[in-house]
Chain A
C-alpha cells in the first residue's frame, strides 16, 4: 500500500514539476546554476573513478584471461565494452546517485523544514517546478556527457596501467580498443544514462520535497533517497537491458 501511495504522490509531483514555468528567463538562469553545481562539479570525481576503474578492469581482465589461445588485444576490447555497457553508465550513475542525489535531497529537504518552500508557495510560485525542473533537466543533460567522459578517461586508465604493469603493450591495447566496435552499445548506454539521470534527480527531489520534521529527518531522507535511487537504477538497468538486447 505504501508503495502505491509513494508512486501516486511521485506522479502528482512530476505533474506539478512539468507544468508551464512562470518565467522562462528565471528558470533558464536556474538551469545554468544547476548544470554547474550538479554536472560540472562532478567532473573531477568522474575522472578519478573512471581512470582507476579502467586501470583495474584492465588488470583483472589480464589476470583472468591469461591463456595462450587468447589474443592480447581482447584486454583492450574487454575494457572498452565493460566501460561502455555497464561501468560508465550504470556504476557511474550509482556513484552520481550518491553524490548528486544526496545533494538534491538535502537541499530541498532543508528548504522544506526552514519554510522556504512555503514562502515560495505563498508568493504564488510553483515551488515544485521552480526547484525541481532545472535539476532534472541539468542532470539529464549532463549525464550523457559524463558517460562519454567516463568512457574516455577509463580507456586512458587502461592505457596507462596495462603497459605500466607489463601485462599488455600499448599497441595491443589500442588494437583491442578499436577492434569490433559496436556503435549501438554507445547509443544503448547513452539512452540508459538519460533514464538514470531522470531517476537521480527526481527521486531525491521527491524525498526532499515531502520531508516532515527537522534536520534529523533531512539526513534520513538523504540516505533513503540514495538507497532508493540505487535500487531503481539497477532495476531499470535490468529492464532496459532485457528490452534492448532481446
Chain B
C-alpha cells in the first residue's frame, strides 16, 4: 500500500500540488484522473521519486521514503515498475533486450533463465515473434505492451502507469486496461494509473482520485462516481452527452442488479 500525506509541490513559486492526502491500496487498480495540467503526472512522478516534494510524506507500506537510506531507496526502485506515456523503450535495444534490461542490471539469473523470464513476460502481454524488432518497428499499442512487460519483469510490488491509453485506438485501450487490471489482481500489487480515459474510469477504477488545479476534489470508486454530486467531477467525467446517457443506463443497470 502507498499512502501520501499533505503532499505539496511547486515549481518556481507556482504551486502544482496542494496538500494532497490519499491511500492507494494493494491488489487494486487506483486511478488518478483530472484535466490536462491538473498535476496528475507531477503527482505520479513525486510518488515514484522522480521529483522531490516540498512538503508532506510518501509512505510505502507505512515507511516514509524521505527517511530511506540510498541503499533502501535503490532497493525500493527495484520493486517499482513504471509504464511511461510514450512507452520510454530504449531505441537502441530490441524488444527482447528492452525487457531483459532490468534483469541484466539487477538479477543474478543465468542467460537461459533471463530469456525464459523475458519470453514469459512477453507472452503475458500477448506479444509473440517480436523479440528481435526495434521499438521503431512496432506499433504504439505494442510499444505500450512491451513497456508493461519490462515493468513487470522483476516482479514489482508497485506498478505505475502514466496515461497508458494515450494515442491508442479504443480497442487497444481496452486491451491495455484489462491487461493492467489482470496483472494487478494476479500479482497482488499496488497499481496507480494516471488517466483521462473515461472508459478506464468506468471499467477498472477500483479507487479513483480526482484532482483539479493541484487539489484533491473527490475520491471514490467506479460505481460511486455515477452518483457523485461534485460538480467539477461531473463536468469532467460526464462532459459529453454520450457519457451522460451512459451514466443513466449504468445507474439503471446497477439498480436492476440490486433489485
List residues of chain A with CB under 8 Å of any chain B CB.
22-23, 26, 110-111, 114-116, 118-119, 121-125
Q: Is B50 within 8 A of A122, CB to CB?
A: yes
Q: Is A123 within 8 A of B77, CB to CB?
A: yes
Min distance, Cβ A215 to any Cβ of chain B, angstroms: 13
Q: Is A23 within 8 A of B84, CB to CB?
A: no
Q: Which residues of A contact B74 (CB under 8 A)?
A: 124
List residues of chain B with CB under 8 Å of any chain A CB.
45, 48, 50, 74-75, 77-78, 80, 82, 84-86, 88-91, 101-102, 104-106, 160
Chain A interface helix/strand/loop/mixed: helix
Among B78, B84, B105, B106, which residue has its beta carbon within 8 angstroms of that of A119? B84
Q: Is A116 within 8 A of B77, CB to CB?
A: no
Among A115, A118, A124, which residue has its beta carbon within 8 angstroms of that of B106? A124
Q: Which residues of A contact B90 (CB under 8 A)?
A: 111, 116
Min distance, Cβ A131 to any Cβ of chain B, angstroms: 10
Q: Which residues of B contact A26 (CB under 8 A)?
A: 104-105
Q: Is A23 within 8 A of B104, CB to CB?
A: yes
Among A22, A115, A124, A125, which residue has its beta carbon within 8 angstroms of that of B84? A115
Q: Which residues of B contact A22 (CB under 8 A)?
A: 105-106
Q: Which residues of A contact B78 (CB under 8 A)?
A: 123-124
Q: Is A122 within 8 A of B105, CB to CB?
A: no
Q: Is B102 within 8 A of A123, CB to CB?
A: yes
> In the bound complex, what is the Cα–Cα distance between A124 and B50 (angstroms)?
11
> In the bound complex, what is the Cα–Cα distance between A115 and B86 (angstroms)?
8
> In the bound complex, what is the Cα–Cα distance between A22 and B101 (angstroms)?
13
Q: Which residues of A contact B77 (CB under 8 A)?
A: 121-124
Min distance, Cβ B151 to any Cβ of chain A, angstroms: 9
Look across to chain A and name the residue whose beta carbon is closest to the beta carbon of B78.
Answer: A124
Q: Which residues of B contact A114 (CB under 8 A)?
A: 86, 88, 91
Q: Is B88 within 8 A of A125, CB to CB?
A: no
Among B82, B86, B89, B106, which residue has its beta carbon within 8 angstroms of that of A122? B82
Q: Is A122 within 8 A of B48, CB to CB?
A: yes
Q: Which residues of B contact A121 (CB under 8 A)?
A: 50, 77
Among B48, B50, B86, B105, which residue has its beta carbon within 8 angstroms of that of A125? B105
Q: Is A118 within 8 A of B50, CB to CB?
A: yes
Q: Is A116 within 8 A of B88, CB to CB?
A: yes
Min distance, Cβ B118 to any Cβ of chain A, angstroms: 15
Min distance, Cβ A238 to any Cβ of chain B, angstroms: 37
> In the bound complex, what is the Cα–Cα distance between A218 and B126 (angstroms)?
35
Look across to chain A and name the residue whose beta carbon is closest to the beta carbon of B48.
Answer: A122
